[in-house]
A and B are shown apart, each in its own frame.
Chain A
Amino acid sequence: DTAVSQTPKYLVTQMGNDKSIKCEQNLGHDTMYWYKQDSKKFLKIMFSYNNKELIINETVPNRFSPKSPDKAHLNLHINSLELGDSAVYFCASSQNPRTDTQYFGPGTRLTVL
């Protein structure tokens, strides 16, 4: 059974489009996250959600918006895509946001043309 899943695995789109990436976890965790990994493999936190409440927004453009319909899902919506948004986006989940292990999804490779 997949603990943290993301769809799609690959996403290729044109500049200016709006796209969404879905994430689901079946671990019963209270907190979910989105990370961005750039072309140099650097991983950076974008958002975290705890019990449907946004906890952190780390200098991310407001074109990016997380939406959590329930505790098991945290989707990432991106408006007006730019070339610089090309990256791998990872979803993760954990129980406690500051102390517990975060488990990651397989990643979504976004390519903006």
Chain B
Amino acid sequence: AQKVTQAQTEISVVEKEDVTLDCVYETRDTTYYLFWYKQPPSGELVFLIRRNSFDEQNEISGRYSWNFQKSTSSFNFTITASQVVDSAVYFCALSEHIGGADGLTFGKGTHLIIQP
């Protein structure tokens, strides 16, 4: 069965520090998709990025960057120069191309606290 592990339950940093959120996944499939979502205190789930298993290029979007390492089954998320508005719970998720499950399998989330 597919599985997503976010080992960091909570991270607290001071504003302007860089922070990396770890995500490790397990899958039997060669074709799969990885996602990151942000859940701010207001509660909605905001899509951040989607990456397919064939694209191992790292991605940068402003202060956000993602490092996909297929060899270690990891899809880590780094926030550079963190801001208080980055405070949220961040979820990593996995979708397989085959198999009975058509929904996303989520990690348990990392609660990121950015202190001013």
Contact = CB atoms under 8 A, between A and B. Distances in A.
Given A41-B108, A98-B95, A99-B95, A88 B43 contact: yes
A113 interface: no
Contacts of A35: 103-104
Given A41-B108, A45-B104, A48-B102, A98 B43 contact: no
Given A58-B101, A98-B97, A42 B106 contact: yes
**Chain A to chain B: the 8 pairs with minimum beta-carbon distance, closest first:** A45-B103, A104-B45, A97-B102, A43-B106, A48-B102, A55-B102, A101-B50, A56-B102
B38 to A, nearest CB: 11
A96 B109 CA distance: 24
Interface of B: 33, 35, 37, 39, 43-45, 47, 50, 52, 89, 91, 95-98, 100-106, 108-109, 111
Nearest to A90: B45
A31 B50 CA distance: 17
A39 B43 CA distance: 12
14 contacts: A41-B39, A41-B111, A42-B109, A43-B106, A44-B106, A50-B102, A56-B100, A56-B101, A90-B45, A98-B97, A100-B50, A101-B35, A104-B45, A109-B43
Interface residues of A, number: 28
Given A41-B108, A41-B109, A42-B106, A101 B47 contact: yes
A99 B104 contact: no
A36 to B, nearest CB: 11
A102 interface: yes
